[in-house]
Amino acid sequence: MKLSSVTNARLAGGGDRVVWGAGLFALGGFADRVGLTEALSAAVPPRGERAPVHDRGRVLVHALLMLAGGGEACTDIEHLRAQRELFGDVASDSTLYRTLTGLGEGGAAALLGAAAAVREPLWASADRSGPLVVDIDSTLVEVHSENKQGAAPHYKGGFGFGPMVCSTADGEPLWIKQRPGNAAANDIADHLEVIDAAVATLPEPDAAGCSPRLAAKLRDPNIGYAVSARSAPGVQAAIRGGLGDPDRWHNVPKQPRRRKRRGAQVADLTDLADLSGWPDRTRLVVRREPLHPGAQRSLFGSENFRYWGFFTDQQGSAVQLDKLMRSHADVEDAVCRLNHSGLARMPFTDWHANSAWAAMCMIGLALVGWLQNACLTAALRRAAPKRLRWQLWHLPALVCHSARRVLLRLPERHPGAKALLAIAHPR
């Protein structure tokens, strides 16, 4: 018996009525409805005397769709050009290249500012009760050419860039600062610049941070902080002082959707720590859990526990603050999604063009997040870029004409068809 993984159907050309990318078509329509196309158009005014053939707002939105679909370079825009029935007259890769390289210094900030203007009414219509928390993190982008302006060796032995990303606690990207690969992950000036820029785009700012000096800077504009503690004699002395007091340590309940660590405990060691260099009301909270394979470095040498702590000026019990702090590790998820949405590549040699590319990756991921929150439900509302591409963005459709209108008929048995119809016809 001869095994076969497919049917005996044969491939043939001539399928002019079949298109792919129906999900990207819906994403582009959503960008138009929320005003992102117009906002980007206003952020990139024409430079010459004559109006360009392709409006720069449309060019940039098409680039966002290309990034959402898995594109990694300007040449990937050609896949949209092949779907004229869906995306109309799409600019060439050369036009997209000239658009991004022509932004120059300040271009990335202009793009992120345009996205912020669109975000404000979307947030106003959503239920965002309680304090707003923002997180910052840096990542490494490897490159394989020494000709890229600003690329430098980094601490992991590679070569490239080290952008710093600021996002909300639920993963929506807000701001990105392009940096060389040898930039310090804990550079206070960079932290303050990114936080200030991100907070300036928010209607109701609240939290984030990384050292006594940074905490003091954040206190001035009334921004709270919760920052990881580093291994230091004062922190180790506080932990050592709390070991003999079992009543100080409280059991930590399991958080939803997180692997349970049996025996995890948390304690408030503020009264045992030297916090003279920190702002008033700063507290030291330390968590410990039994050592497990692959455990990272600990604040305190122990053969039984791994210790991890943070400084904060927030109110609440040690257990509540520990839950708050650990829940905001989602910034790493936001960085991972960015790397899968185009940030893993820096396709230009020019520094400002790569900065604009990084900003486009941020806006593209934000656009997808806005659509997920507004139109999708269940697992698709939290789906990662790879799943969205398989299930929504690359969905094929049959082009039909009825009553002088173009209809895209989706395959009923496709797992993403129902969700895509919900996007096209929101309640």
Domain around 271: 226-312
User: Residues 243-256: what's their mean pLDDT?
Assistant: 81
Residues with Cβ within 8 Å of 231's Cβ and at least 6 positions away in sequence, in order, are 297, 298, 299, 300
User: Residues 174-182: what's their mean pLDDT?
Assistant: 94
Residue 29 domain-assigned (yes or no)? yes
**Helix, coil or strand: residue 19:** strand
Task: State the residue for tokens 């106003």.
Answer: 124
Domain boundary among 312, 334, 363: 312
Residue 2 domain-assigned (yes or no)? no
Question: Domain total for the chain?
Answer: 2
Q: Are residues 31 and 88 in the same domain?
A: yes
Listed ranges 123-132, 240-249, 416-425; the one with the highest mean pLDDT: 240-249
Q: Are residues 25 and 105 in the same domain?
A: yes
Per-residue pLDDT for 207 more than 50? Answer: no
Q: Are residues 304 and 358 in the same domain?
A: no
**Of residues 328 and 401, which shows the higher confidence score?**
401
Per-residue pLDDT for 257 more than 70? Answer: no
Range from 94-108, 125-139, 386-400 carrying the lowest mean pLDDT:
125-139
Q: What is the pLDDT of residue 1?
A: 67
Q: Are residues 81 and 29 in the same domain?
A: yes
Q: What is the pLDDT of residue 180?
A: 95
Per-residue pLDDT for 426 more than 70? Answer: no
- Percent with pLDDT over 70 in the chain: 88
Beta-bridge partner residues of 173: 167
pLDDT in tens, 303-359: 778 888 888 888 888 888 888 777 655 667 888 899 999 999 999 999 999 999 999
Q: Which of 205-222 are b and which e, b meaning 16 or more Cβ less than 10 Å from the residue's Cβ?
A: bbbbbbbbebbebbbeee
Q: Are residues 308 and 356 in the same domain?
A: no
Q: What is the pLDDT of residue 208?
A: 40
Q: What is the pLDDT of residue 215?
A: 57
Q: C-alpha angle with apex 300: 295 to 306, nearest 5 degrees?
A: 30
Q: What is the pLDDT of residue 108?
A: 95
Instruction: Note the Cα 412 to chain centre separation in Å.
Output: 32
Q: What is the pLDDT of residue 209?
A: 40
Residue 321 domain-assigned (yes or no)? no
Q: What is the pLDDT of residue 427?
A: 56
Which amino acid, one-letter code, is at 289?
E
Q: Are residues 289 and 358 in the same domain?
A: no
pLDDT in tens, 21-53: 999 999 999 999 999 999 999 998 877 667 778
Average pLDDT of the chain to the nearest whole number: 85
Sign (positive or negative) of CA dihedral 229, 230, 232, 236? positive
Q: How many CB atoms lie within 10 A of CB 141?
A: 22
**Structure confidence at residue 161 as a pLDDT band (50, 70, 90):** very high
- Percent with pLDDT over 90 in the chain: 42
Q: Are residues 232 and 305 in the same domain?
A: yes
Q: Are residues 308 and 373 in the same domain?
A: no
Q: What is the pLDDT of residue 210?
A: 42
Q: What is the pLDDT of residue 206?
A: 45
The H or E element that residue 273 is part of is: none
Per-residue pLDDT for 261 more than 60? Answer: no
The H or E element that residue 420 is part of is: helix 417-424
Domain boundary among 312, 339, 358: 312
Q: Are residues 354 and 418 in the same domain?
A: yes
Residue 215 domain-assigned (yes or no)? no
Residue 265 domain-assigned (yes or no)? yes
Per-residue pLDDT for 203 more than 80? Answer: no
Sign (positive or negative) of CA dihedral 118, 120, 123, 124? negative
Range from 96-100, 280-284, 362-366 carrying the lowest mean pLDDT:
280-284
Q: Are residues 47 and 97 in the same domain?
A: yes
Q: How many whole angstroms separate alpha carbon 77 and alpha carbon 293? A: 45
Q: How many whole angstroms separate alpha carbon 280 and alpha carbon 277? A: 9
Residues with Cβ within 8 Å of 266's Cβ and at least 6 positions away in sequence, in order, are 249, 250, 252, 285, 286, 287, 288, 318, 319, 322
Q: Are residues 301 and 367 in the same domain?
A: no
Listed ranges 20-29, 124-133, 190-199; the one with the highest mean pLDDT: 20-29
Q: How many whole angstroms separate alpha carbon 70 and alpha carbon 18? A: 21
Tell me how long the chain is: 427
Q: How many whole angstroms separate alpha carbon 215 and alpha carbon 202? A: 20
Q: How many whole angstroms separate alpha carbon 282 and alpha carbon 129? A: 25
Residue 323 domain-assigned (yes or no)? no
Instruction: Note the Cα 249 to chain centre separation in Å.
Output: 35
pLDDT in tens, 76-93: 999 999 988 899 999 999
Q: Are residues 277 and 353 in the same domain?
A: no
Domain boundary among 312, 339, 359: 312
